[in-house]
Amino acid sequence: MLEDIISPCKADFAEGVQTVLRGHENRSRRVVLLKGNLVQNSRNSSSGISARVTKGGRNGFSSIGSYTPEAARSVLAAATENALFLDARAKEPGITFPAQPSGLITPHRDIIDFEQKRFIDACREVDAYIEKTYPNLISRRIIYTEDSQDKIIVTSDAASGHVTYPRCYIYVMLTAESKAGVPVELFRAFGGAGSFEDNFSNLESMYPEIDNLYGKLMDKAEGVYAEAGTKTVILGGMMGGMLAHEAVGHTVEADLVIGGSVAGPNLGKRVASDLVSLVDYAHTAFGEEAPLPVFLDDEGVIARDVTLIENGILKGYMNNRDTAERFGMEACGNARAWEFTDEPLIRMRNTAVLPGTSTLEEMIASIDDGYYLIDSGNGQADLTGEFMFGVTLGYEIKKGKLGRALLDTTVSGIAFEMLKSVDMVSNNITWSSSGFCGKKQPMPVGMAGPEMRCKITIGGR
Amino acid sequence: MVDVLERASVLEDMLKAKGVSKYAIDVSEGEMHELNTELSNFTLYRTIFSNSASVVVYIDNKKGSASGNSLLDEDLQQLVDDACSGAESAVADEANDIAPYQEPEVFHTGPYEPDMDRFYDRMEEMLTSIEQEYPKILLMQTIGSYTKSHSVYANSNGTRFESFDGVYNVGLEFAGNDGERTTGINGASVCMHDLDTPILDLSLLRTMLSNTQDSLYVVPMGEKFEGTVIFDPNATGSFVDMLVENFMSSTVIVEGTSLWLDKVGEQVSHESVTLRLQSQDERLVVQSPVTEDGYRAQNVTLIENGVLQSHLLSLYASRKTGRPVTKNSGSCYVLEPGNTPYKELLSGVKRGLLVGWFSGGRPGVNGEFSGVAKSSFYIENGEIKGTVMETMINGNLADVFKNVTGISSELYSDGIMAFPYVRVEGITISGA
């Protein structure tokens, strides 16, 4: 854990500029077992100090991989010089960000380090269970991955604080041979925020879920190709979360709105059916701590929730201090940086489509010919809201009942069109938090959704 | 300034003092200067000073590794301790190894000091040119960076490579926008060693801006059909990357799940396909002289005239499977150009798509893919009719390279890789 040696450096902040000084350490641990072979066994840590100095809305930034008061003073000087470099060449006057509420934010969560042996032993134990229980698999991968951020933030005109974000996961990936003799795969991530002990003190608790994953894989090995075209489907909670993040969330990041996203001309307008509401939660959701809680962002803004869509109407954007001023909105703590070398960017935190009132059983029973699309391997979307999600697990729905499993396929659509077709929303949601969002820098994000019945374009043979 | 050679020697001494007889280390010092613009205005100037050290140790055929960004004595010692502790906890595997002794070499690539004033001027010139020549382009963000590093690789077999690298890179994110309509987001990047050429004249930048501007006006395409696709050089690169990952990479060969597991020496693609991994090539700016295993990198031909010459295997995968190691870590791809000008490739298409980039999931190990064709245009009777939206392409990765019916004589490089246009038959196209 970082010790606060940088707060006294506030005395070195330059006059007439806006300054954020950040001490920052990242750690990662990784173990990969491939068919029982240990193919990766690594530990990484990086730490240093960065300074962002803003003059007239133009930012100078500098970082150095050293954590000393001297290092803090050197990045403050370099960042100030860079801000002045841009300011001297600017053709138009810039803006000054309004001051933010001050305060000292220090939520407590220890980053607890364990020896690599614990991770290797855990992976081997899970691997041994799978090898013994399911000898017919043609391959298996067990991956332990852990990352943590530890930040001390000191600002000239906003809040300061000390925040920590540890999380760890075990990925289980299974490969079997399909009836056509080609490999098919499924994976599942276990874990969440916190340390190894918080998540994996009882590995056996994972086994029923691994058994379930194997069962689904056997279904998939007998699977069929989806029929291409526009279909009525139920998007599972994981798919709903992917939609919340990729297809809608990015379009309502204010920097992308400025870049011409479809959300720009749609503020205050209907973009979804009135069953759909979307919120980016800061640290608490539905009365519990969100999967990846954020309390203070890297501009010193105290984190609050942002309502993005309410009953189908687009209500707001996610902002940093700059875009909040430009749009006349409030900054709510979305500006985050991944490593000490990185400047803060507008990022999602825990983005969720809110649950409705239907049950999954009712939803399946309501479909005569369609698909239940449960899990996604990846997804992409762009400024227009056109999205693509890979579907790794799904089933046919025929006459209100689940049918055969699907082989890998893809769904696509335009988010604000597709969301208007949502006519049933389930009464529960599924969170996921193991991934990284990529936007110049990686960033851990949480996402969630309920099951949603809608129309969507599905790829197939 | 850090004495990288001295720090590497200190690290090696620590490993020897700990009794480690097999190891590899990397020590480097670097600096980056980065200019960022939003909507053609300079908004951020970033300067980063960074060091890094990594240690891989092998104790009784057990491997452990650790890395960090401090080169202080106590932190280097911590890396040694962490790597050794990791190795002692690991599983013994006789396939773990490092490359044998290689002749020492010092590599110099690119300028080792930046000219930021001139770089700023080149960036500003590019912004002005785009504003004047492409009025329907909304330039969301550009990132212009100069990065340099001084690094040392050494291992316990006596190998020692030293590198001095400097490179400029410009990346652009843009969309077509006429005030009412907006296209999807598009991106391009290019690397360079000097600032002699206007940035916009490099690589495919003008073509990509022009195509994005033309993507504002969508034409209907009709029902699903099986047609011809021309992949532009960027899309070609994506499919080459997926091909290597799916059928030739260490993971799928060790797993035994590659459909090309026993196909070396056999025809796997159309005879016009020749795919190389170049560690040094005058068509590329970036060079990769040292492999992750510690070999002096060599140029490697993966597919020649459609025949699979080699998988892309690390030393570990090589020893694990008894197959030859690939002395190239795999990033600088060149798909050799053909003899047909791009315009002739286009004129031969009865019905199909020109695909700018592919937005899709990584195919399963069986090679089946489906995804959205982005920045793509509908072609009928050899003519581009207009852009398409919500259009998906489906097929099999291996079949794509079997069903090639033409490769352009034009080759485009972003400085890291080089690809031509490639025409392929038998792709399922479904769209609005």
What are A352-401's pLDDT values in tens digits?
999 999 999 999 999 999 999 999 877 888 888 888 888 999 999 999 99
* A139 contact B CB<8A: yes
Q: Please indicate, yes or no, whether residues A45 and A63 belong to a single structural domain of this protein.
A: yes
* A369: phi then psi, degrees, rounded to nearest 5: -150, 105
Task: State how far the Cα of B128 lies from the Cα of B37, in Å rounded to an integer.
Answer: 12
**CB-CB contact of A331 with A303 (8 Å):** no
Number of domains in chain A: 2
Picking from A202, A221, A240, the residue at the C-terminal end of a domain is A221
How many helices, marked H, and strands, marked E, lie in chain B? 9, 20
**Does residue A1 lie within any of the structural domains?**
no
* Tokens read off for A376: 């996604």
Q: Is the pLDDT of residue B222 over 80?
A: no
User: Could you report the per-residue pLDDT of A46-78, keeping only the tens digit for each?
Assistant: 999 999 999 988 999 999 999 999 999 999 999
Residues linked to residue A232 through DSSP beta bridges, in sequence order: A370, A455
Q: Please indicate, yes or no, whether residues A340 and A429 belong to a single structural domain of this protein.
A: yes
Q: Are A85 and B49 an interchain contact pair (Cβ–Cβ within 8 Å)? A: no
Q: Please indicate, yes or no, whether residues A174 and A285 belong to a single structural domain of this protein.
A: no
Would you give the distance in Å from CA B415 to the centre of its chain? 10
- Please give the residue range of the domain that contains residue A436: 229-458
Nearest to B390 among A79, A390, A414 (CB): A414
Query: Torsion angle of alpha carbons B349, B350, B355, B361, nearest 10°?
Result: -120
Q: Please indicate, yes or no, whether residues A146 and A256 belong to a single structural domain of this protein.
A: no
Note the pLDDT of residue A460: 62
**Does residue A48 lie within any of the structural domains?**
yes
Task: State how far the Cα of A18 lies from the Cα of A193, in Å rounded to an integer.
Answer: 33
Question: Which fold is adopted by the domain B4-214?
Answer: PmbA/TldD fold (3.30.2290)
Task: Give the confidence band of B432 by pLDDT, cuts at 50, 70, 90.
Answer: low
Task: Give the confidence band of B220 by pLDDT, cuts at 50, 70, 90.
Answer: confident
| A440 dihedral zone (left: phi>0; alpha: psi -120 to 50; beta) | left
* B47 contact A CB<8A: yes
Picking from A191, A221, A251, the residue at the C-terminal end of a domain is A221
Taking CA atoms, what residue in B is nearest to A461?
A: B394
Q: Are B371 and A410 an interchain contact pair (Cβ–Cβ within 8 Å)? A: yes
Q: Please indicate, yes or no, whether residues A184 and A286 belong to a single structural domain of this protein.
A: no
Q: Please indicate, yes or no, whether residues A217 and A242 belong to a single structural domain of this protein.
A: no
Say what the ipTM of the complex is. Answer: 0.85
Q: Please indicate, yes or no, whether residues A145 and A276 belong to a single structural domain of this protein.
A: no
Residues 280-339 of A with CB under 8 A from B: none
Residues of chain A with pLDDT under 70: 460-461
Note the pLDDT of residue A138: 93
Domain map of chain B by residue range?
A: 4-214, 218-432
Note the pLDDT of residue A440: 87
Q: Are B173 and A259 an interchain contact pair (Cβ–Cβ within 8 Å)? A: yes
Q: Are B68 and A45 an interchain contact pair (Cβ–Cβ within 8 Å)? A: yes
Picking from A221, A254, A272, the residue at the C-terminal end of a domain is A221
User: Could you report the per-residue pLDDT of B362-387, keeping only the tens digit for each?
Assistant: 787 788 888 889 889 999 999 998 88
Q: Region B68-94: what's the mean pLDDT?
A: 95
Note the pLDDT of residue A181: 85
Q: Please indicate, yes or no, whether residues A185 and A317 belong to a single structural domain of this protein.
A: no
The DSSP secondary-structure symbol of B375 reads S
Note the pLDDT of residue A461: 58
Q: Please indicate, yes or no, whether residues A264 and A187 belong to a single structural domain of this protein.
A: no
Q: Please indicate, yes or no, whether residues A180 and A325 belong to a single structural domain of this protein.
A: no
Q: Region B317-344: what's the mean pLDDT?
A: 94
Tell me how far CA of residue A37 lies from CA of A206, B87, B93, B247, in angstroms. 21, 14, 8, 20
Task: State how far the Cα of A285 lies from the Cα of A351, in Å rounded to an integer.
Answer: 10
Note the pLDDT of residue A379: 81
Q: Please indicate, yes or no, whether residues A87 and A186 belong to a single structural domain of this protein.
A: yes
Note the pLDDT of residue B391: 87
**CB-CB contact of B376 with B219 (8 Å):** no
Q: Please indicate, yes or no, whether residues A185 and A277 belong to a single structural domain of this protein.
A: no
CATH number, residue A51 = 3.30.2290.10
